[in-house]
Amino acid sequence: MSQIHIVAMFTIKPEFNEQFKLEFKQLVAASRQEEGCLQYDLHQDIKDPHTYIFIETWQSKQAIERHNAQSHFKQFAKFTEGKVAKKAVHLMTPMI
């Protein structure tokens, strides 16, 4: 099976922006250590400083499933409740 890429965009409610910075750092550091994680980067939008984009590459669907079951991922998901204005997650496989 080919690698799976994820682009996940979060727009944070402005009053929570500073709180997210620490949570993001912890999530990225832990996720990069996971088996099957080939890339796990976080970017901040230049025009909208409340919008963050994760760019991830995983070896397989199973690696993503393991990632989603990790305590640090579950903790982050719980932390985001009620604090995110908009979220979009795209899973992709290479085409060319």
CATH fit for domain 4-92, picks 3.40.50.720, 3.30.70.100, 3.30.300.30, 3.30.110.40: 3.30.70.100
d(CA 59, CA 61): 7
Q: What is the model's pLDDT at position 18?
A: 92
Give the global pTM.
0.92
Q: What is the model's pLDDT at position 40?
A: 99
Give the residue extent of every domain in the chain: 4-92
Q: What is the model's pLDDT at position 58?
A: 98
Q: What is the model's pLDDT at position 44?
A: 98
- Which residues of the chain carry a pLDDT beneath 70? 1
Q: What is the model's pLDDT at position 1?
A: 60
Please list, in sequence order, all residues whose beta carbon lies within 8 angstroms of the beta carbon of residue 57, skipping any fewer than 6 positions away.
3, 4, 5, 6, 37, 38, 39, 40
Q: What is the model's pLDDT at position 80?
A: 97
